[in-house]
Chain A
Amino acid sequence: MAVAPRRPRVRRWPIVGDPPYDGSRIPERVPTILDVPPHLEDSEDVFRINFGPNHPSTHGVLRLIVDLDGEEVVGLSAVIGYLHTGFEKTMETKTYWKCVTYPERIDYVGYQNNELVFVLAVEQLLRLEVPEKATWMRMLLCELNRIHSHLVYLGTSALELGAISMFWYCFREREMILDLFELVTGQRMHTRYFQVGGLAEDIPEGFYPECRKFVEWFPHALGDYLQLLDRNEIWLERTKGVGPLSAHDAIALGQTGPNLRASGVDWDLRREQPYLAYDQVDFRVPVYPEGDVYARYRVRMDEMAESNRIVRQCLDRIERMDGWPWIADDRKVVLPPREELHTSMESLIHHFKIVTEGFRVPEGEIYVAIESPRGEAGCYLVSDGGPKPWRVHFRSPSFVALEATPTCARDGLIADLIAIVGSLDAVMGDTDR
């Protein structure tokens, strides 16, 4: 007997727990600039300093103009653009298959995810079916990349608060992930392994046992981190209650990803708008309502454990896909197999056409969003029907995360500012593009 589908539970404003404060803390005049309060404007006690652009704790070249009254932050504005390299303009002059190398250099810590969002956008315009094996492998690599990105966050932001040993431990596991990437793609970072249509090459045999070793080991490493930090008095003092951001402010400021979930909003694109095969794996979305630096740290810690679970499930599936195709079989888009070039004239022509002229993408515009380690990474793509994109735009989560700095740092201390900037986890390459 058929079971009637359950009525979907309509969720609106999925907010968990009590907000850390009532009302709004977003600066009134300009949302991203904290102005010095009028009674301090003429005060000689207010001291303006440049925090950055070359400061070790700004994760790149971020310049914060900070007005200090003693140790208290009374004014703040961020200056970005020091790492602007014009990726969007450059991509307009390259054919699509050459463009794939650019997005991963935009967010150079979450590179697999950025590569994925561009490839997905092109595939959607082409209406190209991707083989199952490629989908699962993409998911596996993206989750490994998420762990990698969170490890870099954890190591560096703990280092900035004085916990230097965390940095070495995190980079130990990060190294293991980079070795896995090297094993699969030949590159440690900026792998360019995702191709329009699937993967650039088949998965090497030795990958499965090595990846399994990592998956078995990683929960122990995560336990180590928790032991080092979670009962560490200094770490708790420096993070709990620091840099609060309420759910309403976070939504108004467009925050996504771990920053949004740490403000108590139960929202993850992997679950709400499943792409790849996320609807076929089991994972939990961690949410913490406190909205402070500690909550952002907890969300990322829990996410790493969940990502590890997803990697395990992907491995179980891919191991049974031996011999399956890893790239689509559309000769107008995908390069023909190398060995065919010696025997088939058509393959040679296709190869030549794709390499010299590139493949043509039907006219249209599209916006594709995925859940990158930093939040919603989006790619807006306009095609005029030619072999080069007419316009590419990346919605970068770091760019938006930095907009929340003045709201979080309001009424805080200069020392807290370092914890806050670290916890928002902005990558400057992603911010400036």
Chain B
Amino acid sequence: MSAWEDAPGFVSLREGPEMPTVTIEAGQIREACLFARDELGFDMCVDVVATDYLEWGGKGVAGYIGTASGRDLNAPAAQGLQTLPALKPKRFSVSYHLLALRQGAPRVRLQAWVDDGEPVPSVVAVWPTCDWHEREQFDLMGIRFEGHPNLERLLMEEDWEGHPLRKDYPIGGEPVRFSEET
């Protein structure tokens, strides 16, 4: 898989149990996708998914009682982790799962790392299917895809506030309409 080293914006390659992960500089993800499609024959983009790593590993290590933020030990599964997970370069990862329609069904995950508000070039022009995938990740995770022809909310209402899949989005309550007006 050394062919990936020629990919535009190539940062690193990590083998995984099901597919290799190729980290790409966020600004060049579009060129890297074109490279994957035209040079390496990944015909199909099956999925685009963003992950929020805010407070990743913040639970602390098991056996260490109490943290600065005051861990609630009575809450289930608050006993901390067995080892601290490896740190992530930035807050959000955006992963593109690609598939080549040929023998062996080779797959690859292209991954870009961004901070809050940092734009990612849209790949709708490379694969039209990414239209809704990108809109969904914008809607739920707040990733800004630059150059997307129609970057609007998809699953939530148009006037929804916040991005629900972010880790700092409050759970357990939502504003009830008309409740404060009489």
By a beta-carbon cutoff of 8 Å, the part of chain A in contact with chain B is 8-14, 26, 29-33, 80-81, 84, 86, 88-89, 93, 95, 124, 251-254, 256, 265, 267, 269, 272-273, 356-358, 360, 363-369, 376, 378, 380, 382, 384-388, 390-391, 393, 395, 399-400, 402-403, 432-433
Contact = CB atoms under 8 A, between A and B. Distances in A.
Interface residues of B, number: 54
A363 B129 CA distance: 30
Interface stretch (B2-10, B47-55, B63-71): B47-55
Contact of A81 (B47, B57, B154): B154
Given A88-B165, A89-B164, A366 B101 contact: no
Contacts of B171: 89, 93
Given A12-B102, A367-B95, A384-B57, 8 more contacts: A8-B103, A13-B101, A81-B154, A84-B155, A358-B76, A369-B107, A391-B52, A395-B49
A31 B131 contact: yes
Contacts, number: 148
B46 A256 contact: yes
Contact of A403 (B44, B76, B81, B129): B129
B76 A356 contact: yes
15 contacts: A29-B149, A32-B131, A33-B150, A84-B155, A95-B76, A256-B46, A360-B82, A365-B21, A365-B51, A367-B95, A380-B49, A380-B97, A384-B59, A390-B51, A402-B132
A367 B18 contact: yes
B79 A80 contact: no
B85 A384 contact: yes
A140 B141 CA distance: 37
A156 B153 CA distance: 30
A98 B169 CA distance: 22
A360 B80 CA distance: 11
Given A81-B154, A89-B171, A253 B101 contact: no
Contacts of A356: 76
Among B45, B97, B103, B128, chain A packs the most CB atoms within 10 A around the CB of B128
Interface in B131-159: 131-132, 136, 140, 149-150, 153-157
Contact of A14 (B83, B101, B149, B157): B101
Contacts of A390: 51, 53, 56
B165 A89 contact: yes
B109 interface: yes
Nearest to A395: B47
A265 B155 CA distance: 30
A31 B128 contact: yes
B104 interface: yes
B124 interface: yes
Given A33-B150, A393-B49, A265 B97 contact: no
Nearest to A252: B128
A124 B16 CA distance: 11
A251 B102 CA distance: 13
B105 A273 contact: yes
A30 B52 CA distance: 28
List 7 tightest A-B contacts by C-beta distance, closest first: A254-B129, A31-B128, A81-B155, A273-B105, A395-B47, A84-B155, A272-B105
Interface in B104-120: 104-105, 107, 109
A31 B95 CA distance: 21
B1 interface: no
B82 to A, nearest CB: 6
Nearest to B130: A254
Contacts of B85: 363, 384-385
Contacts of B11: none
Contacts of B149: 29-30
A80 B101 contact: no
Given A367-B18, A403-B129, A403-B131, A80 B154 contact: yes
B56 A31 contact: no
Given A81-B155, A267-B101, A388 B18 contact: no
Given A80-B154, A357-B76, A385-B83, A380 B47 contact: yes
B49 to A, nearest CB: 4
